Amino acid sequence: MYGRRKVLIVVLGLSSFGSLVSLISNDLVVIIAGRAIQGISAAMLPLCFGIARAIVPRKHLSVIVGLLAGIYSASGAVGFLLGGLLTEGFGWHSIFAVTLFLPIAIIPLVLVFVPPDLATSRPPSLDLTGAILMMLGVTALLLAVAYGRTWPWMVTLTAGLAAVATLVIWARHELAVEQPLIDVNLLKSRGVAMANFGFFCLGMGSMQLPLVVLTMIQQPVWTGIGLGVGAAMAGVLKLPSNLISAFAGPFSGWLRGRTSARMAAIVGGLLGVFGWAAMYFFHDNLWQVIGLSVVIGAGLAMILSAMSNVVLGVAPHDRSSDTNLR
């Protein structure tokens, strides 16, 4: 409604404000509130997908989308490592000082290099009802999943049923409203539906790579499965599997341009299957685990890039960003 460049600048500003809130406080509740505001920065990737689709020539778009997805993943690993170094060297406040500065530094670059885009013809009205219903439904579902083992079964069941009921009401509302927050009809598109199913499967599988690998290599050797690596070194050893994303993502986009997004996703899936299957048998040596993590990370990045390109291939231009939210 207002143009992606403007919204991106607002998102960057709010991210800096959230860092400032956490930086100037020693109260845990306030720090968490600042982190919640920082979480708005998650909107950057889908916004950048939409900007890329608007300004990048079509023949180069798939590679650029892969690059964006790959760099996004790779930067997370660098962030974990940098956060540990800053905390050990200068105290935890220094993390928020850096995250306060970075978005501010990016804003001039956005103003210089990202051309202003015209607002769409959609009327400037926000679907607040849809936003609230979705937030309540998703939150109730996540609470039921996260705390179901500790809650009484009746409470867990009630939360789960309330979540499902709320999401059904939300979907009916989105279908009825003229300008919905999320176009539910797009979710019925074969490309978008398969992409979302792919993201769901990745969330249940390869996206658990850090949890599996970091837990495994940090276990004491006497457990029979652990490799006895310290926390700081574990963060360093995790870097390669994330950094490979910066190359695997664009490669997936290149492969999509030469063949299809389906082929790119299949190659990425085969890499993931091979990596996980091999790690089942070969995990006694640290470098076996790290090497196979790189294979799995490359497969993950390829699938993420392919699925994002699938969505951009079928979504209307004015729905490029919100359709890619996952």
pLDDT for 321: 64
Whether residues 147 and 251 fall in one domain: no
Query: Residue 192: pLDDT band by 50, 70, 90 thresholds?
Result: confident
Render pLDDT for 250-259 as a digit per residue (tens, 0 to 9).
999 898 888 8
For the cut 90, the answer to whether the pLDDT of residue 8 exceeds it is yes
pLDDT for 123: 58
Whether residues 81 and 225 fall in one domain: yes
Range of the domain at 142: 127-180
Whether residues 167 and 274 fall in one domain: no
Whether residues 132 and 120 fall in one domain: no
Closest listed residue to residue 167, CA positions, set 134, 202, 209 = 134
Structure tokens at 42: 């998650």
pLDDT for 320: 62
Give the mean pLDDT of 2-13.
Answer: 91
Render pLDDT for 270-323 as a digit per residue (tens, 0 to 9).
999 999 999 999 888 888 888 999 999 999 989 888 888 888 777 766 666 665
Whether residues 162 and 276 fall in one domain: no
C-alpha torsion angle, residues 22, 23, 24, 26 (rounded to 10)? 70
> Who has greater pLDDT, 11 or 320?
11
Whether residues 240 and 291 fall in one domain: yes
Last residue of a domain, one of 162, 180, 198: 180
pLDDT over 90 percentage in the chain:
31
pLDDT for 274: 95
Start-to-end Cα distance in the chain? 21
Q: At what angle do helices 261-281 and 286-314 cross, to 10 degrees?
A: 160
For the cut 60, the answer to whether the pLDDT of residue 122 exceeds it is no
Q: How far is CA 17 from the centre of its chain?
A: 21
Whether residues 166 and 235 fall in one domain: no
pLDDT for 180: 84
The verdict on pTM exceeding 0.85 is no
Query: Residue 72: pLDDT band by 50, 70, 90 thresholds?
Result: confident
pLDDT for 45: 87
* Nearest-angstrom CA–CA distance, 11 and 167: 27
3 state SS for the chain: CCCHHHHHHHHHHHHHHHHHHHHCCCCHHHHHHHHHHHHHHHHHHHHHHHHHHHHCCHHHHHHHHHHHHHHHHHHHHHHHHHHHHHHHHHCCHHHHHHHHHHHHHHHHHHHHHCCCCCCCCCCCCCCHHHHHHHHHHHHHHHHHHHHCCCCCHHHHHHHHHHHHHHHHHHHHHHHHCCCCCCCHHHHCCHHHHHHHHHHHHHHHCHHHHHHHHHHHHHCCHHHCCCCCCCHHHHHHHHHHHHHCHHHHHHHHHHHHHHCCHHHHHHHHHHHHHHHHHHHHHCCCCHHHHHHHHHHHHHHHHHHHHHHHHHHHHHCCHHHHHHHCCC
Contacts 24+ apart (CB under 8 A), 73-76: 73/242, 73/245, 73/246, 73/249, 73/297, 73/300, 73/301, 73/304, 74/242, 74/243, 74/244, 74/245, 74/246, 76/242
For the cut 70, the answer to whether the pLDDT of residue 244 exceeds it is yes
Query: Residue 32: pLDDT band by 50, 70, 90 thresholds?
Result: very high
Assign residue 237 the CATH number of its domain.
Answer: 1.20.1250.20
For the cut 70, the answer to whether the pLDDT of residue 231 exceeds it is no
Render pLDDT for 90-111 as a digit per residue (tens, 0 to 9).
888 999 999 999 999 999 999 9
Q: How far is CA 293 from the centre of its chain?
A: 19
Question: Structurally, how many domains does the chain consist of?
Answer: 2
Mean pLDDT of the chain: 86
pLDDT for 308: 84
pLDDT for 78: 79
Whether residues 145 and 270 fall in one domain: no
Last residue of a domain, one of 154, 180, 206: 180
Most confident option among 23-37, 79-93, 146-160, 179-193: 23-37
For the cut 60, the answer to whether the pLDDT of residue 203 exceeds it is yes
Last residue of a domain, one of 180, 214, 245: 180
Structure tokens at 123: 């009327």
Structure tokens at 240: 């390669």
